[in-house]
A and B are shown apart, each in its own frame.
Chain A
Amino acid sequence: MADLMTHGAILIIAIPLLAAFLTPLVGMASQKARNILVVVSLLFVVVLVFALARDISINGIHVYTLGATAPEVTTPGNFIVPVRIILEVDGMSMLMAMLWSIVSLAAAIFSFSHIANETGQNRFYTLLLLMVTGGFGMMFTGDLFNLFVFLEIASISGAALIAYRTKFADTQEGGFKYIVVSAIASLMVLFAIGLLYAQYNLLNIGALAEVIQYTTVDKIALALLLIAFTIKAGMVPLHLWFPDAYSVAPASITGMLVITSHACMYAAFRVCFSLYGNMLDAPVVGWILIVFGLLSMFVGVTMAIFQKDVMRFMSYHAISQLGYMWVGVGVGLAVLGNAELLATYGRDAMSGGIFHILNHAMYKPLLFFTGGALFHMTGTRDLSKMGGLAHKMKWTAILYIIGTLSISGIPPLNGFSSKILIYESVYQFNAILTITGIVVSILTLASFTKAFHSAFMGAELPEYGKVTEVPKSMIIGMAILAAGIVFITLFPSLVVDRAIQPAADALINQGAYIDAITGAIP
Chain B
Amino acid sequence: MDYIPLDFPFLAAALLVGISFYIIIFKKNLTKLIMGVAMLASGVNLFLVALGYRAGANAPIYTDVPEGPMVMSIPQALTLTSIVINVAVLALMLTMVIHIYRHTGTLDSEKSRKMKG
Q: List the A residue with the shortest CB-CB distance to B47.
A: A194
Per the 8 Å Cβ criterion, residues 123-178 of A in contact with B are: 145, 149, 152, 156, 159-160, 163, 166, 168-170, 172-176
Known: A187-B44, A198-B51. A169 touches B114 (CB 8 A): yes
User: Is B70 an interface residue when CB atoms closer than 8 A count as contact?
Assistant: no
User: Is B82 an interface residue when CB atoms closer than 8 A count as contact?
Assistant: yes
User: Is A446 an interface residue when CB atoms closer than 8 A count as contact?
Assistant: no
User: Is A191 an interface residue when CB atoms closer than 8 A count as contact?
Assistant: yes
Q: List the A residue with the shortest CB-CB distance to B78.
A: A145
Per the 8 Å Cβ criterion, residues 167-213 of A in contact with B are: 168-170, 172-176, 179-180, 182-184, 186-187, 190-191, 193-194, 197-198, 203
Docked complex Cα distance between A175 and B96 (Å): 7
| Chain B residues touching A, majority SS | helix
Per the 8 Å Cβ criterion, residues 19-65 of B in contact with A are: 24, 30, 33, 37, 40-41, 44, 47-48, 51
Q: Is B74 a contact of A190 with CB atoms below 8 Å?
A: no
Docked complex Cα distance between A169 and B104 (Å): 7
Docked complex Cα distance between A243 and B37 (Å): 22
Q: Is A166 a contact of B78 with CB atoms below 8 Å?
A: no
User: Is A244 an interface residue when CB atoms closer than 8 A count as contact?
Assistant: yes
User: Is A247 an interface residue when CB atoms closer than 8 A count as contact?
Assistant: yes
Q: List the B residue with the shortest CB-CB distance to A202.
A: B74
Q: Is B92 a contact of A244 with CB atoms below 8 Å?
A: no
User: Is B88 an interface residue when CB atoms closer than 8 A count as contact?
Assistant: yes
Per the 8 Å Cβ criterion, residues 282-338 of A in contact with B are: 306-307, 312
Cβ contacts under 8 Å, B92 to chain A:
156, 159-160, 179
Pick from A149, A173, A176: contact of B85, CB under 8 Å: A149
Query: Which of B51, B95, B99: most chain A CB closer than 10 A?
Result: B99
Q: Is A197 a contact of B96 with CB atoms below 8 Å?
A: no
User: Is B6 an interface residue when CB atoms closer than 8 A count as contact?
Assistant: no
What is the distance, in angstroms, from B92's C-beta to the closest C-beta of chain A?
6
Q: Is B40 a contact of A307 with CB atoms below 8 Å?
A: no
User: Is B115 an interface residue when CB atoms closer than 8 A count as contact?
Assistant: yes
User: Is B9 an interface residue when CB atoms closer than 8 A count as contact?
Assistant: no
Cβ contacts under 8 Å, A190 to chain B:
44, 48, 78, 82
Cβ contacts under 8 Å, A197 to chain B:
51, 74-75, 78
What is the distance, in angstroms, from B90's C-beta to the closest C-beta of chain A?
9
Interface residues on A, range: 35 or more
Query: Which of A152, A190, A198, A248: most chain B CB closer than 10 A?
Result: A190
Pick from A152, A163, A307: contact of B96, CB under 8 Å: A163
Cβ contacts under 8 Å, B82 to chain A:
190
Q: Is B89 a contact of A179 with CB atoms below 8 Å?
A: yes
Residue-wise interface mask of B (83-117) relative to A, using a CB-CB cutoff of 8 A (1 in contact, 0 not): 00110110011011101100110000000111101
Docked complex Cα distance between A176 and B115 (Å): 13
Q: Is A183 a contact of B114 with CB atoms below 8 Å?
A: no
Known: A156-B88, A160-B92. A172 touches B74 (CB 8 A): no
What is the distance, in angstroms, from A202's C-beta to the closest C-beta of chain B?
10
Docked complex Cα distance between A163 and B97 (Å): 11
Q: Is A179 a contact of B104 with CB atoms below 8 Å?
A: no
Q: Is B93 a contact of A180 with CB atoms below 8 Å?
A: yes
Q: List the A residue with the shortest CB-CB distance to B114.
A: A170
Q: List the B residue with the shortest CB-CB distance to A162.
A: B96
Docked complex Cα distance between A159 and B100 (Å): 15
What is the distance, in angstroms, from B39's C-beta to the closest C-beta of chain A?
11
Q: List the B residue with the shortest CB-CB distance to A203.
A: B74
Pick from B40, B51, B88, B117: contact of A194, CB under 8 Å: B51
Q: Is A149 a contact of B37 with CB atoms below 8 Å?
A: no
Cβ contacts under 8 Å, A145 to chain B:
78, 81
Q: Is A183 a contact of B103 with CB atoms below 8 Å?
A: no
Docked complex Cα distance between A176 and B30 (Å): 10
What is the distance, in angstroms, from A207's C-beta to the closest C-beta of chain B?
14
Pick from B24, B44, B115: contact of A173, CB under 8 Å: B115
Known: A169-B103, A184-B37. A156 touches B89 (CB 8 A): yes
Cβ contacts under 8 Å, B113 to chain A:
173
Per the 8 Å Cβ criterion, residues 262-290 of A in contact with B are: none
Docked complex Cα distance between A492 and B6 (Å): 60
Q: Is A173 a contact of B100 with CB atoms below 8 Å?
A: yes
What is the distance, in angstroms, from B13's C-beta to the closest C-beta of chain A?
9
Cβ contacts under 8 Å, B17 to chain A:
191
Q: Is A194 a contact of B115 with CB atoms below 8 Å?
A: no
Docked complex Cα distance between A469 and B53 (Å): 64
Q: Is A176 a contact of B78 with CB atoms below 8 Å?
A: no
Cβ contacts under 8 Å, B100 to chain A:
169, 172-173, 176
Known: A156-B89, A169-B103. A307 touches B117 (CB 8 A): yes
What is the distance, in angstroms, from A166's C-beta to the closest C-beta of chain B?
6
Known: A163-B96, A166-B99, A197-B74. A244 touches B89 (CB 8 A): no
Cβ contacts under 8 Å, B85 to chain A:
149, 152, 156, 186
Cβ contacts under 8 Å, A306 to chain B:
117
Q: Is A187 a contact of B115 with CB atoms below 8 Å?
A: no
What is the distance, in angstroms, from A506's C-beta to the closest C-beta of chain B?
28
Docked complex Cα distance between A243 and B104 (Å): 21
Q: List the B residue with the shortest CB-CB distance to A307.
A: B117
Cβ contacts under 8 Å, A175 to chain B:
96
Docked complex Cα distance between A321 and B54 (Å): 49
Cβ contacts under 8 Å, B96 to chain A:
163, 172, 175-176, 179
Q: List the B residue with the shortest CB-CB distance to A170.
A: B114
Docked complex Cα distance between A19 and B17 (Å): 38
5 A-B pairs within 8 Å (CB atoms) are namely A156-B85, A180-B93, A184-B40, A243-B115, A312-B115
If A173-B114, A176-B97 are given as contacts, then 8 extra A-B residue pairs at C-beta distance below 8 Å, sorted by A number, are: A149-B85, A152-B89, A163-B96, A172-B96, A179-B92, A183-B37, A183-B40, A244-B115
Nearest 9 pairs of A and B residues by beta carbon:
A169-B103, A172-B99, A176-B96, A198-B51, A170-B114, A152-B85, A194-B48, A172-B100, A183-B89
